[in-house]
Amino acid sequence: MDSLSHFRSIDELVRVLDREQKLFRDMFERRKSLAYRTDFAMELVDYKRERIQFLIDHGVIHDNGDFLELEDIYVQFFEDVLDMNEEISVASVREYIDSIKENITYFLEERNEHRRMRYRDNVRKILRRIGLRTLKNIVDLKRNVDVAYKQEPSFNVKKLRLEGLDRKRENIKALMAECEKLMDQETVFFSLAGDPGMQRTCMDVRNQFTEGDHSLLEIERQIIIYINQIERQSAFFKKVRRLKYLKDQLTWREDTDVERMLGNIDPVWMGKRHYTRLLLSIDMLRSDRDAYDIVRKIASKAGVRRLSRTEADPIGEEFLGADAEEVEQVNINALWNAFQAQGCDLFSFIRNFNYKRPREMREHIVLFCQMATTFSDRLTFSDRFESTNNIEYALIYASQHTENT
């Protein structure tokens, strides 16, 4: 068996990935299909056979007769980077824990300070990988649980898949506990290698495990709910199949009480549907252009081509006349100027002013309140009161500043 060629540098690998990106994207999208024909690949590489052969020689794709397959290492790489991996692997976490134990042993036995620091850095990096990998496994586990329950058509297979995922949940939890136990027991190593970077990494990993514990508890609860629902659905399905068999044998009325049970219930979905007429507000139709457009659209779909209109009565002659109605009003500004020119109080001035027509006491009171409010900043309100006609009023004068001006 000839050995495969290999890429000599990262630049060469990136260049090949960029050049064949259309082919990789198409093969990755069809990675679950084992029938990717070579003809499809030839179209994406401009019918250059040597480009396909180059990828085969370098172990990127695999030739299987008339079909091509993307190598597993690249499929796994794309799935990990794009977070599309459906497989939950706890073996890698187990290998990481074993690797931590080995590097801790090397650190304690090594006497060269430079190599000791290298083993310490390896432990820190592996711890960080364990935390990230554990969280990713939990996310994949949650997604697989939902997919298994919602998309698997067979009840038996659905239940078996959920039980298998529950065992993986237990494995993840056990590995988290083992890793925490390792960090608690290796006190000698962490005391000797307890630099700020190592302490921060251990704290981050513990926080990730805490977050993972909460997520695993929620996943466990969801799996239990799904399995119970499957049990109920499976039992219901068996009853339906049994009832269908009895109905085909024309014995279901005699052997079951289905007819009596159905007669005692009145489910809403089997009743007559009630329609409720909604009357639109006239004010809304007059002011809201969008509502008017919707009504016109519905009318057009219903075949109503013209709106019903009625002719209004003609306007009466009395409304078209040019007669003007005179309304007598008091010029407050002119009255104020006259009030400033004398020294009596405001209410006495209003009662004694020479108007064009006689005015009632009620009108004097209204005008008094109006002027007191309008020119309050230019009036002086005294503490003395007087009364007339059983009406008590305050003595209000024009301010000294206004009088001087």
| pLDDT (0 to 100) of residue 223 | 92
| pLDDT (0 to 100) of residue 10 | 87
Least confident of 64-68, 342-346, 349-353: 64-68
Q: Which residue has the tokens 């993840």?
A: 172
Q: What global pTM score does this model have?
A: 0.52
- Cα angle 73, 79, 85 (rounded to 5 degrees) comes to 110
| pLDDT (0 to 100) of residue 5 | 66
**Average of pLDDT values for 76-87?**
73
| pLDDT (0 to 100) of residue 213 | 92
Mean pLDDT of the chain: 82
Q: Higher model confidence: residue 39 or residue 225? A: 225
91-240 folds as: Methane Monooxygenase Hydroxylase; Chain G, domain 1 (1.20.58)
| Contact criterion met (CB below 8 Å) for 105 and 123 | no
* pLDDT over threshold 90, residue 279: no
Least confident of 87-101, 117-131, 166-180, 307-321: 307-321
| pLDDT (0 to 100) of residue 403 | 41
Buried b (16+ CB within 10 A) or exposed e, 249-267: eeebeeeeeeeeeeeeeee
